[in-house]
């Protein structure tokens, strides 16, 4: 966990999002925001999985989760798809609140997201829903 402008930030990558215990441990170490970047493989249901996992990790950790997903590598200007050798991505970047609500989200193409977060909401959520205190 690192401190950025007064906010305690946990750092994860890609496949880590499938492991709730990592997110709860970062929360126990004081993370108020957990960042995850990924090149989430495309395919049927993959965007929905990415979104669900990001929101679930926010709930597990009672933290904000900023999930940055690689946009579709196709050329957005021409509509031409990427070569089969290019990395894949589904996009779908989002910020989820400590209660799992989507604060802001992107589509499949490259996009800049900006979200205002209130870290006081983290403490309030943790007080209201004692998930971290009740785990053994």
pLDDT at 74: 66
pLDDT at 41: 86
Q: What are the DSSP calls for 76-125, one per residue?
A: TTT-PPPPTTSPP-----EEE-TTS-EEEE--SS---------THHHHHH
Query: pTM to 2 decimals?
Result: 0.89
pLDDT at 78: 46
pLDDT at 125: 96
For residue 122, which of 31, 48, 35 has the smallest C-alpha distance?
31
Segments in the chain below pLDDT 50: 77-78
HSE, side-chain direction, 13 A CA sphere, residue 6: 4
pLDDT at 86: 60
C-alpha–C-alpha distance, residues 93 and 54, integer Å: 9
- Whether residue 100 contacts residue 119, with contact meaning beta carbons closer than 8 Å, is answered with no
User: Which tens digit of pLDDT belongs to each residue from 92-110?
Assistant: 999 999 999 999 999 998 8
2-134 homologous superfamily:
Carbon-nitrogen hydrolase (3.60.110.10)
């Amino acid at each position: 966990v690192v401190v950025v402008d007064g906010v305690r930030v946990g750092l994860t990558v890609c496949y880590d999002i499938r492991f709730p215990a990592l997110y709860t441990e970062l929360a126990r170490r004081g993370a108020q925001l957990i960042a995850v970047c990924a090149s989430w493989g495309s395919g049927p249901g993959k965007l929905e999985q990415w979104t669900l996992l990001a929101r679930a990790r926010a709930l597990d950790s009672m933290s904000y989760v900023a999930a940055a997903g690689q946009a579709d590598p196709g050329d957005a200007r021409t509509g031409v798809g990427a070569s089969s050798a290019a990395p894949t991505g589904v996009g779908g970047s989002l910020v989820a609140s400590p209660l799992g609500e989507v604060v802001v989200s992107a589509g499949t193409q490259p996009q800049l997201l900006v979200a205002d977060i209130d870290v006081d909401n983290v403490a309030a959520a943790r007080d209201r829903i004692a998930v971290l205190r009740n785990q053994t």
